[in-house]
Amino acid sequence: MKIVIDKKKCCGSGECVKVCPHSALTLVGGKAVVDEARCDLDGLCIPACPHGAIHFEE
Ligand code: SF4
């Protein structure tokens, strides 16, 4: 399982960056990027995204 960000939907609002308790999300070139080594898959960023750009993927 991993967190995936749909680059087409991400608008770079940074809402996910604010909620991630592990500092696993950063904005690179105006798009959210996940550091999988830091992500603990709590899923907090999924509902935080106003554009539904974040989801789990097997
Ligand atoms: S699932 Fe949790 S730890 Fe992983 S990027 Fe999202 S908020 Fe951060």
The alpha carbon of 18 and the centre of ligand 1 are apart by a number of angstroms equal to: 10
pLDDT of residue 58: 95
Q: What total of structural domains would you count in the chain?
A: 1
Kindly report the pTM of this predicted structure.
0.93
- Which parts of the chain fold into alpha helices (H)? 15-19, 45-48
pLDDT of residue 56: 98
pLDDT of residue 30: 97
The domain that contains 33 carries what CATH number? 3.30.70.20
**5-55 pLDDT, tens digit each:** 999 999 999 999 999 999 999 999 999 999 999 999 999 999 999 999 999
Give CA–CA dist 38/42, Å, rounded.
11
Among 14, 8, 4, CA closest to 50: 14
Q: What ligand 1 atom has the least distance to the C-alpha of 46?
A: 6
Kind and range of the H or E element at 55?
strand 54-57
pLDDT of residue 48: 98
Domain assignment of residue 47, given as a range:
2-57
- Identify the residues whose C-beta falls under 6 Å from ligand 1: 3, 19-20, 22, 24-25, 34, 39-45
